[in-house]
Amino acid sequence: MNTSLSPRVAGLLTVAGTGAVAGLATGRPELVVLATPFLLLVAAGLALAVPPRLVIELELTRERLLEGDQTRVTATIRNEHDSGLELELALERSARLAVEPAEPIMLRLGPREQTSVEFTAAPLRWGVHTVGPLALSTRDPLGITLARARLGAQLTLRVFPREQQLRQLVAPSRTQPFVGSHVARGRGDGIEFADLRPFTSGDRVRQVNWRASARRQTLYVTERHPEHASDVVLLLDTFAEARAGATGTLDAAVRATATLARAHLARRDRVALVDFGATLQWLGPAFGTTQLYRIVDALLASEIAFSYAWRAVESIPRRVLPPAALILAVTALLDERSVRLVSELRRRGADVTVVEVSPLDYTPPGHGLTDAAAYRLWRLEREAIRARLQSLGIGVAVWDEKSALGPALEEVNAFRRSARHVLSA
C-alpha cells in the first residue's frame, strides 16, 4: 500500500503554525498553547498509523458473455489486522466496461473480519475485457494518514459478438466432394431434381422414374444434384473504419463475420479466416464447433491499426485460400488497398463476394453547402467502387447493422445468377 498524509493534515499544520507564529510575534504564550493540541493530534495520528493487512479475492459469475449481457463480480475482503478499518473501495472500470455501483462503497471491517461486496460489470462491446483490480483507500483512526492500494487479481472477461440468424447464404459456384448442404452442379445421389434420361446398364432400380417410364413406354431414370460442402474463406478488412462514439464499422464487421462463420459451419462447410490490415493473421480451413470457437476468439483481437503497408494476394498463404473456395470479404470499402485485394483475387479466378458494412450511419453529412456537396461526391465514389467490383463479377451485399443480413445476401445470389457467365469466365 502507498501511505501518504491526508488532506486534513495541511489544515491542522496551518492552524498550529499560525498559532505558534502569532504567539511568538505577540509574546502571548496562550496562543502557542492553543496551537499545541493540533500538533499533538498529527503526532498521535502518525504514531497510531499501522499499515493495514488486507486480502482481496475477485470472482466472476460468468467469464464468457454475449454482447448486451452482464456478469456479477464478487469481491471478498478479509482484514487480517487486530484493529478495525474503514474502507472506501471501487472496482476499476474502462471506457468499454461499465461498472455498477459507479460510486465508491464505504465499508467498515472489524478485527479479523471478512465480508463480500458485489458489483455488476456490463461490457459495452465485444472483445477481451479486464475486470479489476479493486481500488481501495483507508485512513488511520484519527484521519491523519491515507493508505491507497490496488488489490485483487485482474480477471479476463471475454465478450462475444451477438450474431444474427441467417436462413440464406451465398451459394458457392463450386463445391467440394464432402457431404454438406449446398446443391452441387454435378449429378449424383441427392434430393434436388436435375433431369430425366433413358435407362442404361448399371442404373439402379430405385432411380427409375415409373411415372415417366409409363408415359413414354420405356424406362427412364431420374438424375439428381448431390448435396456437397464448400470451402469458405472469410476476409475481415481492418485497414480502416468509420466510427461514431463507441461504435463503428469494425464492430459491425466482426458481428457479420461471426454470423457468417457460424452459419457456414452449421452447414458443414470448411471455414477459414483471414484478418487483413496493418497486420495479417489467419486461421486455416476446418470444420466443426471447435473451428467456430477458434474463429470467434481470433475476431476478439481484431483492431484497426494505421499502416502504409500494401497487402498483395501473395501475402496470404496458399493453404488458407483453397482453389475452389468461396471468398466472403467483409469490408467497409474505405481503403483502396482492400478494394484492390478483392479485385486481384477475382482476376485470378477466385469466387469472391463482398459484404459491404455501410459506413453511412457513422458519417453524417456536414451542415454547410460545401460539406453537403463533398458528401454527395463521396457517396457517388462509393457507388463507382461497387460498379467496378460488379463489372468483375463480384457480388456486393450492402448491409447496415440496423437491418438483417439475410436479405442483402439474397440480393447477391440474384446478382450471381444473372452474372453466371461472368463468374464462370
Q: Which three cell numbers stand for residue 146?
A: 491515507
The answer to whether residue 178 sits within a structural domain is no
First vs last C-alpha separation in the chain:
71
pLDDT at 11: 59
Same domain (yes/no): 144, 104? yes
pLDDT at 19: 65
Same domain (yes/no): 307, 396? yes
Mean pLDDT to the nearest integer, 408-420:
82
CA angle 86, 113, 106 (to 5 degrees): 30
Same domain (yes/no): 259, 375? yes
Same domain (yes/no): 126, 252? no
pLDDT at 262: 93
Distance CA 276, CA 292 (A): 19
Mean pLDDT to the nearest integer, 359-368:
85
| DSSP character string of 52-71 | --EEEEEEES-SEEETT--E
Same domain (yes/no): 198, 264? no
Residues 6+ apart with CB under 8 A from 372: 365, 366
pTM of the predicted structure, to 2 decimals: 0.74
The per-residue b/e assignment along 202-232, b for 16 or more CB within 10 angstroms, e otherwise, is eeeeeeebeeebeeeeebbbbbbbbbbbbbb
pLDDT digits (tens, 9 = 90+) for 232-276: 999 999 988 888 877 889 999 999 999 999 999 988 889 999 998
| Alpha-carbon separation of residue 316 from 74, 282, 313 (angstroms) | 45, 8, 6
CA of residue 379 relative to chain centroid, distance:
28
pLDDT at 25: 72
pLDDT at 37: 67
- Print the domain residue range for 386: 229-423
The answer to whether residue 257 sits within a structural domain is yes
pLDDT at 94: 77
Distance CA 286, CA 273 (A): 10
Cβ contact 321:227 at 8 Å: no
The CATH number linked to 99 is: 2.60.40.10
Letter for the amino acid at 108?
Answer: R
Same domain (yes/no): 264, 379? yes
Same domain (yes/no): 233, 220? no
| DSSP character string of 68-81 | T--EEEEEEEEE-S
pLDDT digits (tens, 9 = 90+) for 296-344: 998 988 887 766 667 677 778 888 888 888 999 999 999 998 999 999 9
Helix or strand holding residue 313 (H, E): none
The answer to whether residue 7 sits within a structural domain is yes
The count of structural domains within the chain is: 4
Same domain (yes/no): 43, 97? no
Same domain (yes/no): 8, 75? no
The answer to whether residue 166 sits within a structural domain is no
